[in-house]
Structure 1
Amino acid sequence: MIKGKKGLSFILAILMVAALTACGNSSQGKESEEKDKDIAIGQISWAENIAVTNMWKVILEDKGYNVKFNYLNMGSTMTALESGDLDVSLEVWLPVQDANYLEEYQDTVNFSDETWFDEAKVGLVVPTYLEGINSVEDLNEHKELFNSKIVGFDPGAGTMEVTEQLIKDYDLDFELVPSSEAAMLAEIKKAVNEKEPIVAPLWSPHWVFSKYDLKFLEDPQNTFGGVEKIHHATRQGFEEDYPEVSKWFKNWKMNNQQISELIDYVESSEEPADGAEKWVEENQDLIDEWVN
């Protein structure tokens, strides 16, 4: 038995150490728990990508997760998934558009077998008022009309690389000019308003088709492929770290009407998150199918 003031002081010291240790463990546990709620999602400046990333931010934060966006291009997205600096990419187009990324990263990044959109289409488009141009094979004959230029968007995007392959396949005397999606859409807007010719690679779903009369050019060699399906990809270990969220992503499915409406809500809002939140509120039954 410990007696006297020294004994009492010793006991108090032990109790204080125990209390501090308990607080430290509690604090570390809380910090670990909060860290485990953090999810980094890659966002690319494409209309549908901005829409779905903001939609999932709303859904996940409502479930108690902390979502942050990493603003990247497609190549950087794959590199960040491989290194583990990024948790999720919500948009991988297969079997054609992003096939190069699948081939390069299939051993170091998890590409989902599940798809969230099954009606995607990619190709070169022109305004419908260009009545005599309906196929990629018509372009060389009218190259002066387009100044031998295909107006492109983000360099490194899968569709841009497929477009370069298309130029070779059809022996087109055209140059693909990279820019950004916003710059490409601005050129389409200007051309359509002035009834001028323009040709650009585009994809559906996209809000631009509801605003301007555009048509896909026939692709007899099928360089762009037929129907594309959109998958998601995650870093290795994500499913083990976030089994619940991983299950939700696999349950996620949208049709053309749903994604088009979501894009419209996001595009027409001052803040993309506001439009996404409004859409989620109005489509809670659909969301519940994914997350329950």
Structure 2
Amino acid sequence: MKIRNILGAGAALALAISSTLAVAADKPELSIGYVDGWSDSVATTNVAAEVIQQKLGYPVKLQAVAAGIMWQGVATGKLDMILSAWLPVTHGEYWAKNKDKVTDYGPNFKDAKIGLIVPEYVKANSVADLKTDESFKKKIVGIDAGSGVMIKTDQAIKDYGLDGYKLQASSGAGMIAELTRAENKKESIAVTGWVPHWMFAKWKLKFLEDPKGVYGAAETVDNIGSLDLAKKAPDVAEFLKKFQWSSKDEIGEVMLAIQDGAKPEAAAKDWVAKHPDRVKEWTGK
């Protein structure tokens, strides 16, 4: 009897696994582009991928690319979606070039913001203050070249007459390393940054005021799909219309877990398991 029960349980498990594989085999693999150095992009993309795989049954492939290539990929259909489109200002140039080649399914995060960020202990309060504050050594630490905040910072250097200032291209991780060193020594530093980001939970930071409006007002981070996504995966298209973080604290939970050492996919899986009601709001499952 025990042997028969074990065999029966094994058969049931094999059937369940084969059924799951069959569902996945019936559905096309979906590709999502993201920027590896952007903590919000990593968190949002991994959570969405986990939900799409677990609840909607599609295999998902994540592709880490630069911002420009990310937009080009979804516009040409090489990527099925991106969840890191900062609009209307940060990625305004990318949107202008590709808006007729993609579908905007709406924001996954509202009240996003970019700009120059400094520690609260520095005297500077405005971008204009950098012109006369020698403690910054005429350097702004940036992220990957070509990203929206870098393009706007090049413009800010011109518009605010920051003669002699150099915008140092780096990466998200490189920028954080520089910020960490400055914070430890209580030195002045200006970095290109954004909200949502876990660094605001770690240090006391502030955005430099931008009276000329170079960086724009609050933005949204949108879900963008290829033109054929709605036909290829209609239930995923519907999910993208509903997938939205409720606050910076909600996405912050995932970002902090990753920053504290969890692998992105593990942090996403854990978040999905802990928030079934939120997942159901997005998928109905």
Flag structure 1 segments of 5+ consecutive residues without an equivalent: 1-29
Give 1:165-176 correspondences, 5 Å limit. 165-173=155-163, 174-176=165-167
Secondary structure in 2 aligned to 1:139? helix
C-alpha distance 289-175 of structure 1, shift in aligned 2 (>3 A): same
CA contact (8 A) 2:77 2:227 kept: yes
| Matched residue, 1:260 | 252
Question: What CA distance in whole angstroms lies between the structure 1 residues aligned with 2:261 and 2:180?
Answer: 20
Question: What CA distance in whole angstroms lies between the structure 1 residues aligned with 2:188 and 2:215?
Answer: 22
CA contact (8 A) 1:266 1:273 kept: no
Shift in Å, 1:103: 0.5
| Matched residue, 1:146 | 136
CA contact (8 A) 1:43 1:50 kept: yes
Percent identical: 36
Selected match of 1:136 from 117, 123, 127: 127
C-alpha distance 277-106 of structure 1, shift in aligned 2 (>3 A): same
Secondary structure in 2 aligned to 1:145? helix
TM-score by length of 1: 0.85
Question: What CA distance in whole angstroms lies between the structure 1 residues aligned with 2:168 and 2:185?
Answer: 21
Secondary structure in 1 aligned to 2:82? strand
| Matched residue, 2:10 | none
Shift in Å, 1:33: 7.5
Question: What CA distance in whole angstroms lies between the structure 1 residues aligned with 2:158 and 2:230?
Answer: 40
Largest Rg, 1 or 2: 1
Question: What CA distance in whole angstroms lies between the structure 2 residues aligned with 1:35 and 1:156?
Answer: 38
TM-score by length of 2: 0.87
| Matched residue, 1:116 | 108
Shift in Å, 1:31: 9.6
Structure 2 residue identity aligned to 1:210: A
C-alpha distance 148-230 of structure 1, shift in aligned 2 (>3 A): same
C-alpha distance 33-182 of structure 1, shift in aligned 2 (>3 A): closer
Structure 1 residue identity aligned to 2:141: V
Does residue 37 (structure 1) correspond to residue 32 (structure 2)? The answer is: no
| Matched residue, 1:236 | 227
| Matched residue, 2:184 | 193
CA contact (8 A) 2:83 2:108 kept: no
C-alpha distance 256-31 of structure 1, shift in aligned 2 (>3 A): closer
| Matched residue, 1:219 | 210
Please identify runs of 4+ aligned residues in structure 1 that moved more than 6 A.
Answer: 30-33
RMSD: 1.7
CA contact (8 A) 1:102 1:111 kept: no
Structure 2 residue identity aligned to 1:163: T
Secondary structure in 2 aligned to 1:159? helix
Secondary structure in 2 aligned to 1:198? coil
Selected match of 1:156 from 146, 150, 159: 146
Shift in Å, 1:119: 1.6
Secondary structure in 1 aligned to 2:144? coil
Q: How many residues align?
A: 260
CA contact (8 A) 2:34 2:84 kept: no
Question: What CA distance in whole angstroms lies between the structure 2 residues aligned with 1:153 and 1:195?
Answer: 21
